[in-house]
Structure formats: structure tokens, C-alpha cells
Structure 1
């Protein structure tokens, strides 16, 4: 398999090392730093090109049009986005794998042509959240025949609604926040209550409305 890797930083180097274990893989690496180019050249059996991965000229020199896989692993999402666009629209690369340095750029990379996007920041936030709050939600009552559900849900560390008043959140009409647990105590909420990370809220109402409300509480702020 012919693989072109953009970026030989920490993540890029790990991916190059992994791919180099398979002898049938033919690796080409584009790296902007001359120092890193020399280091990678000394460590791996790969074609090394010193240049800007967002440049069509450099991508052409790297023979991107004949690559089976493009890996975007630079620490600059703008470079990754630009290269993804060229890869699909100009060079016809069948598969593009991208590392997103910020969650806010994950969708941009997908829209630009990346088939798979991984964001280490999102993974870290997920693990951190799991470490502190193992149980994100707990169904206390589910009565399908009455279309009634009660769920205890957690507001995660990077939720969009943090700092907003309850009345500003826009929960579905058929769902009510009946209780908020905070710092070992509880609050009977009113529309002026400001929501905080780590709050556990008791949601009650029609099943679909409660489920939609849980998703709203969990929706994350872009980093």
C-alpha cells in the first residue's frame, strides 16, 4: 500500500512507525522541519520530502495521485483541511485519514474530504469525564404504557449549556427538570438557576422529550 503522511510530529511519527512494520507499505513523508526530516530519514525506510503539505506542488512531488492512503497529521488544522481538499478534488485519493488538533475542526476536515477524523482532545475529554463521572445517566423510571420516563443525567465538563440559566436552555415542552443535585445537596430549580459542570439533573416527562433533553445536556462545547 502506498501511504503519504503529512507531518512527522509526535502523532505522525507514531503512525509512521506503525505503518513501517508492514514491509508491503511504501511510505512517503512530507515534513516542514528540516531537522525532523533528517531524524525521520535516519529512523525509517521512507521517502522524505521537506516542504509545506498544503502546497499542491509539494503534493504533486510526493506523487499523491498514486497514493492509496493519505494521513494528515500536522499540528496545523488549516494545513490538514487544505490538503484534504486537494487530495479528494484534485488528486483523487481513495482514502484520507486525518488528525484534528481541535474539536471545532473535526467537521471541517470531514467536509473537506477526510474519510476518518480522530481528535485526541475529544478522546481526552471523554476519558477525563469518564474518570470523574462514570455514570452519565441513570433511568429511574420507564413506563412505556404511560409514555413516562424519569432519568437522572449528568452535565459534563464541556457542555454547551454550562453557565446558562435553566430557562435559556430550551428543553422540550414535555420534559421538566424537577431536581438538581449539586455539591452533595439538592436544589428545586427555577428558570433563573445557572447550570454548572457536574450537576446531576432529574428529568421527567414524555419518553422522547426526556431522551432529547439528555442529549441537549450532553452536547459539547467546541474547543
Structure 2
């Protein structure tokens, strides 16, 4: 698989290193001469250019790549790169880094983004996931299809404890992906009974998250999620 990464900072280089270890072809683009450090990722291709310019993306041969990763430290740049990659070159998969969580709402299909990765939000979500029981935690948002990867640890008091997966009337547009039980990762089976302490991972549409949370861990006084900001 050929991957183009726009932004050769610490994040871009780290992602490039991981992809190269997995056998993929990687091209790193950055307009800053200081960021183009070939010796740090010698196995990758490098291009000193502005990824927001069509001529630069032509030189990078974006039409031949399967994935574009917009990994710069500037949300405006990442949005422009994502839009150009999707609309001008038809790149099948566009992943964009969100630097400011208040801008996350912009990183959607309209801007060519398939997957938006917000490092601050992801870090806070992982902290919440580690300490929260009974609260739905967003781990990642998939812009294509407007769905989120969410997690909830089933509390002892949940009415669904002991209920078989196949007997639960799950909300529409939600899918139970896996059950983490202790050190085991379980593929959900209709005959599996839910247990207290199970970590349940779902792909769910945003409008169904509240309903899913109420089903798994009903309680009063839950607040609304999400806020919008400006670039």
C-alpha cells in the first residue's frame, strides 16, 4: 500500500516509521526544510513542497496512493489537504489529524475526511476509558458514515448483566464490535451473556449514543455532549 503523509513533524515521522515496518510505501511531504530530515526516516520517500498546492500533490502522484494522512500541526492545512486528496485525486482513504478539539466538527465527509484523529480527545478518552464505569466514552470518530467508536464498561448495577447478547434490543445504527473481559477479547455471540465489568466496544451513530448509554447504564441527569468552535 502506498501512503502519502502531509506533515513531517514528530507525528508524521512516527506514523511513517510504523507503516514502513509493516511493509508499506511511504512518502513524507513538508514545506519546511528543517522538517525534511531524511536521516530520521531513511526508508521513506521525501518531498520538500507545500502539500496545499496542486502542483506539489501532482509531483507526489497522489492518484497512485491508497491513503493520505494529513498530519500537520495546522488544522487549516489538514482540511485543505484532505479536500484536495479526495476531490481532485479520488484517494480512497483520507485520515486527518485534529489539533484543536473545537475544530473536530469540521473534519467530516464534506471536507474529504474519512477518519478524524484528535490527539487531545483521544488521550482524554483513554483516561476516561480507564477510570469510568457506566459512562459512554468516545474513542474515535469515523467521518464517513458519521459513526463513532465508543466504549462502555458495564457496571454491577446494570439491568443487562446476565442477559444474552442476542436478547438485547440494541438501538438502530449501533453494532457491538467486541467484548473485552479481563484479558480476553471476545467476538460477540448471540448466546454470550453480558457480565459486570465487561468493556463493550460499539460502532454507533452519534444520535444513538444517548439511547445506547441509557440502555446499558440507565441513570438520570446525563449532560449533552459536544461543542463547536472556529478555526
User: For 1:74-223, what aligned pairs fall within 5 Å after superposition?
Assistant: 74-110=72-108, 111-130=110-129, 133-136=132-135, 217-221=223-227
CA contact under 8 A between 1:20 and 1:44: conserved in structure 2?
no
CA contact under 8 A between 2:13 and 2:41: conserved in structure 1?
no
TM-score (norm 1): 0.59
Q: How far does the alpha carbon of each residue in 1:113-138 deviate from its partner, in whole angstroms, 9 at most, with x for none?
A: 11111111111222344566555486
2 CA distance for matches of 1:28 and 1:48? 6
1 CA distance for matches of 2:47 and 2:134? 48
For this pair of structures, how many residues does the alignment match?
A: 155
Q: How far does the alpha carbon of each residue in 1:60-88 deviate from its partner, in whole angstroms, 9 at most, with x for none?
A: 11111111111111111100101111111
User: Larger % of helix: which?
Assistant: 1
1:71 is paired with a residue whose SS is: strand
2 CA distance for matches of 1:140 and 1:47? 54
Distance 1:65 1:134, change over 3 A: same
| Unmatched segments (≥5 aa) in structure 1 | 143-206
Whose radius of gyration is greater, 1 or 2? 1
RMSD: 2.9
CA contact under 8 A between 2:29 and 2:51: conserved in structure 1?
yes
TM-score (norm 2): 0.57
Kindly state the Cα deviation for residue 2 of structure 1 after the two structures are TM-superposed: 1.4
